[in-house]
Amino acid sequence: MEQNTIVKLNKRFEEYAYEQDGVEYWLARELQELLGYADWRNFLNAVNKAKESCETTGEAVLDHFVDVTKTIPMPKGATKEVPDIMLTRYACYLIAQNGDPKKEEIAFAQSYFALQTRKHELLEERIQLMRRMEAREKLATTETELSKNIFERGVDNKGFGKIRSKGDWALFGGYNTSDMKRKLGIKANRPLADFLPTITITAKQLATEITNFNVNKNNLKGESNITNEHVKNNLDVRQLLNKSGIKPEELPAEEDIKKLERRVISSDKEIAKKRLKKGNNNDL
């Protein structure tokens, strides 16, 4: 396929895209034209095959194929309503996959929607990663604040470690920090929170924040009193999670957050290099 053809087709596919509530979509009758189908009935065959593929992958068909009506002009100023379908990017990809790749438009569409779908998946993956990293940073900040606060109230670093472990015992249904590390296969010298999912990190942060607040509010002093407070708060948070069917101790470990941070930094540097290279090429 020639470069000029690729540029032309890419421009057309971009121009036919719509957006509603943050979701990108195409209309079937316009996609029919983009893919070079002359007959609506023939195009519907590809749509129906795409729906079957969608169902096979476990996706909800109605999330990707939405029936609508479209008003079209008729002779003498009349109008007519015809059936149409709102198609997500994934739906368009499936339709293209069921077409004849020998046709230039379909061959392009197969690559176009595959790349767009992958970009969307990578974006969602990065957003989830950034949320986990942000939750971990908040937990570290809150634990540091609590450590400083209770140090002034007669609790040293060793005592803080015991308080935190007792809090984990309450949150994880009888598993303290060391127990959870063994359960999840985490090295003893690594922080447990670096391997926890976002929901659990957030739960620990909330319980710690409440402890810190109540230590100040009630002027709690001594390891015993602060431990009781922290255990209570973690039990309360655990009860809240249980109401939604979430048992923190049963959630699997996630990838080491330190590795993910290095990956993000590396990815950002690579993107910056590509942008710089592109900018330099544009200056030539």
The answer to whether residue 215 sits within a structural domain is: yes
Give domain status of residue 164, yes or no.
Answer: yes
In a domain, 186, yes or no: yes
Residues 43 and 91 placed together within one structural domain of the fold:
yes
- Per residue in 112-126, pLDDT (tens digit) is 776 666 665 565 666
Contact 208, 163 (CB under 8 A): no
What single DSSP character describes residue 252?
A: P
- Domain, as residue range, for 245: 130-261
What is the number of structural domains in the chain?
2
Is the Cα dihedral 135, 136, 140, 141 positive or negative? negative
Q: In the predicted model, is pLDDT for residue 8 greater than 90?
A: no
In a domain, 156, yes or no: yes
Q: 0.75 cut: is pTM over it?
A: no
User: Per mean pLDDT, which range of 12-16, 66-70, 130-134 is the poorest?
Assistant: 12-16
The answer as to whether 109 is a domain residue is: no
The first and second tokens of residue 135, run together, are 């939750």
26 found inside a domain? yes
180 and 223 inside one domain: yes
